[in-house]
Amino acid sequence: MLNILIIVIMFCCCKQEKLIKYTAESYEICYPETWSKQIESNMALFLSPKKDKEDMFQENVNVMIQDLSNQPMTLEEYTTLTKQQITQALGSTAIISVNDINFAGQNAIEMIYGMPKNSKVNRNFNLKLWQIWFVKDNKAYLFTYTAEQVEYDNYLDVAKQTIDSFKLIQ
C-alpha cells in the first residue's frame, strides 16, 4: 500500500505540462500548452487557464522588452529606478527581496514584491510578483510572474519553467 502511495505522489509531483515554443524577433520562450498567449509590440503575455467560473484572476508570466536607447541605463541604474517606482507606488514594505543573479547568460536582478488590494486604483486582488531583469544593447528585458498571493506557490514551478526557458536569439 505504501509503494502505491509513493508512486501516486511521485506522479502528481513530477508531472510536467507540455510546453509550446514562442519565437519573437530576438528571443524564444516556452509556455504551458494549456495557457493562452497574447502578443503586443514589446510584450508577450502567457495566461493560466481559469480554474472555474469564480476564478477572477489569471496567473501569468510576461516578457517585456523596453527600448532604452533614448535614455541609456546600466543594470544598476535600471534597478534603482525600478525599486524607486515600486516603493513610490506601493510603499516601502512592498519589496520582499532583491538578489543579483545570472540569467540567460547575463548579469540580472531578481525581485519579489507584493501588491496589495487597492480599490482606489481598481486593483481587486492581493498580488505577489516575481521579476527578473537584465539590460543588454540598450534594451531592458523584464520577466514578470504575477499571481494572487494565495495562489503564488501553486503556479511558481510552471512560472519558473517558463521563464527559465528564455533564450536570446542573435
What are the backbone dihedrals phi and psi of residue 17, each rounded to the nearest 5 degrees, phi first? -80, 145
pTM of the model: 0.87
CA 142/CA 68 separation, integer angstroms: 12
Q: What is the CB neighbour count within 10 angstroms for residue 62? A: 19
Architecture of domain 17-168: 3-Layer(aba) Sandwich (3.40)
Helix (H, G, I), strand (E, B) or coil at 78: helix
Output the pLDDT for position 3: 44
Band (16; pLDDT cuts 50, 70, 90)? low
Looking at mean pLDDT, say which of 53-62, 64-73, 118-127 comes out highest: 64-73
Contacts of 57 (CB under 8 A, 6+ apart): 125, 147, 148, 151
- For β-strands 106-115 and 127-136, DSSP reports them as antiparallel
Output the pLDDT for position 9: 39
Quick one: which of 138, 165, 169, 170 has its CA closest to 61?
165
Output the pLDDT for position 7: 38
Judged against a pLDDT cut of 80, whether residue 68 lies above it is answered with yes
Task: For residues 5-16, give the mean pLDDT.
Answer: 41
Dihedral sign (CA 62, 72, 27, 98): negative
Judged against a pLDDT cut of 90, whether residue 77 lies above it is answered with yes
Output the pLDDT for position 41: 86
Quick one: which of 137, 136, 132, 138 has its CA closest to 166?
132
Output the pLDDT for position 6: 38
Output the pLDDT for position 61: 98
* 151 within 8 A of 12, measured Cβ to Cβ: no
Q: What is the CB neighbour count within 10 angstroms for residue 152? A: 20
Question: Cell 519579489 maps to which residue?
Answer: 112
Judged against a pLDDT cut of 90, whether residue 165 lies above it is answered with yes
Domain range annotation of the chain: 17-168
Q: The C-alpha cell of 62 is what?
A: 510576461
